[in-house]
RNA sequence: UGUGCAAGCCGUCUUAUCGCUGUUUUACUGUAAUGGUAAGAGAGAGGAAAGUCCGGACAUCAUAGAGCGCUGUACUUCCUAACGGGAAGGGGGGCAAGUUUCAAGAUUUGUUUCACAGAAAGUGCCACAGAAAAGAUACCACCAGCUCGCCUCGGCGGGAAGGAAAGGGUGAAAAGGUGGGGUAAGAGCCCACCGUCUCGGUGGUGACAACGGGAGCAAGGUAAACCUUACAGGAUGAAAAAUCAAAUAGGUUCCGCCUUUUGUUCAAUCAAAAAUAGUGCUGCUCGCACUAAUGCGGAAUGGGUAGAUUGAUGGAGCCAACGGGUGACUGCUGGCCUAGAUAAAUGAUAAGAGUCCCGCCACGGCGGGUUACAGAACCCGGCUUACAGGCUUGCACUUUUU
RNA sequence: GCACUCGUAGUUCAACUGGAUAGAAUAUCAGAUUUCGGCUCUGAGGGUUGGAGGUUCGAAUCCUUUCGAGUGCA
């Protein structure tokens, strides 16, 4: 079983390596879906496939640490509760994702959750498109 | 009862579901190393965690000792690990009220405030205005005598050389102040009081205070201008620093391989010839040229990257009682363990309670809103700044009752 | 986490070692010129020098504190 199907968010699923983060920001593909900007990289993996996620809020938009923590926690919670359907549609690969919050104001949890769902759907489409182009 | 000021303290809670990070117990299972999974127990942001304005602890590097330089601090004594912090005291300034004096001023009380060493070591600066801005000056005005003119013969007006530092005006500031005497006019020129300086002993740990004697007064402001004096400080900060260390590349050391013949040498040390292998020229062969220990393989080893661990959470710790001290603080006894993350946990959703505000009315409920400032990043002591609301104590004013 | 720099008209910059009304260009407005507009010429307004407090006779300048903007360090 490659992915945990429970609604958890453990250390395995977090992106913690500085080098991968640097690579993600240098070479990663990206698209925007308000209120997020999403960066991702993918690598073909034989068996030990994984999905690593990081959530960031820019200091320029929110000066207070309390606000940044608040938004990041909401994003993480929304991802945690909605990742199972996302996982079920994935091919085995090493995927790294970064969610950047680009809105200028705080938003309700329901709004964030809806947008996270949309973002994950779009990400699947993007990945599928890349696979088809590669094979052709 | 209400309002204001000051000081100190607190700064939301409960339940359910789904999650996160440490600690610990048991079981299973891995990695080079740290670990991982499941179940149970128990813990999980602040008074400012903030600003990074100071001080320490700790670590590495530097360092014989001393001086110069640089930076900081600056009434006294004390507290403290230390401080630019705090406590108590001293002194100065402002405001209000009272007492006293002819006046200047002095003094008492209350309140408030002060980065409060030195301007009598030296240097610089003090715009404009003003005569003059620092051992100064004579613009107006003042003055007896001299001299010229006029006349009502005592005055008026002018001039030069002086006297003087009181009056006017300027300025933030004009070279002690007020009152009196004195004088041609004046002036500490003389006197009284006040101020200033200085000497003496007394009280106080000390800052300093009150008292007595002396000096006619010389010494404007500015040190948050340079500076002087005293005291303190080596530099850099957890991105400090220590330990373990996969894979790959490269370093060092050792071992093995390193064609044949001849000569030579301690030695594949050097030379020659031939052959072999590879590369280039060519479609191929011959031939020619170049290369063959600065190599290949293996082992060990040090540095060290990803990664991991330590540093890093039991401490100048918190609470209470009893002592010491005016107080900051401190002694002793007893009790307690109270976050430890690392691209970084402490959350999300739902329901309810509490706080405060608004509206309605049947005065007890209903409905709506509000719930601040703000998030640990090695730790500790301060300072500064932000903050819904609440509690306690003291003081002042106010309302009602007696 | 640590270290450092800068805040002046709407905008871009000046203002000497503290000295008086904070100056210039541009933008804005008004007038002149033009048939009209532009260019050009003349004039005017616009600043609590980021905020607060202090030193000084006097502060954009010196000191303290606070707010904002930015830079560097693996």
* A2 confidence band (pLDDT: 50, 70, 90): very low
Chain B positions under 7 Å from a protein CB? 18-22, 36-37, 45, 306-308, 342-349, 374-376
Question: How many residues are recorded in chain A?
Answer: 136
Decide: CB of A54 under 7 A of nucleic strand B: yes
Q: How many CA atoms lie within 13 A of A49 on its CB side?
A: 16
For A61, residues 6+ apart whose C-beta sits below 8 A from its C-beta are A101, A102, A103, A104
Q: Can you tell me the ipTM of this complex? A: 0.80
Q: Which element (helix H / strand E) includes A93?
A: strand A93-101
Q: What is the pLDDT of residues A32-76, one digit of tens each?
A: 888 788 888 877 654 556 788 888 888 877 888 888 888 888 888
Domains of chain A: 11-135 (3.30.230.10)
Inform me whether the pLDDT recorded for A133 exceeds 60.
no
């Amino acid at each position: 079983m490659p992915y945990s199907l429970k609604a958890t968010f453990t250390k395995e699923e977090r992106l913690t390596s500085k080098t991968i983060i640097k690579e993600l920001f240098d070479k990663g593909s990206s698209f925007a879906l308000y209120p997020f900007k999403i960066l991702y990289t993918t690598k073909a993996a034989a068996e030990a496939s994984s999905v690593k996620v990081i959530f960031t809020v820019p200091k320029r938009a929110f000066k207070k640490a309390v606000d940044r923590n608040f938004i990041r926690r909401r994003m993480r919670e929304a991802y945690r509760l909605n990742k199972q359907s996302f996982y079920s549609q994935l091919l085995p690969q090493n995927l790294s994702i970064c969610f950047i919050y680009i809105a200028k104001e705080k938003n309700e949890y329901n709004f964030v959750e809806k947008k996270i769902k949309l973002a994950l759907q779009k990400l699947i489409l993007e990945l599928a498109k890349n696979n088809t182009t590669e094979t052709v």
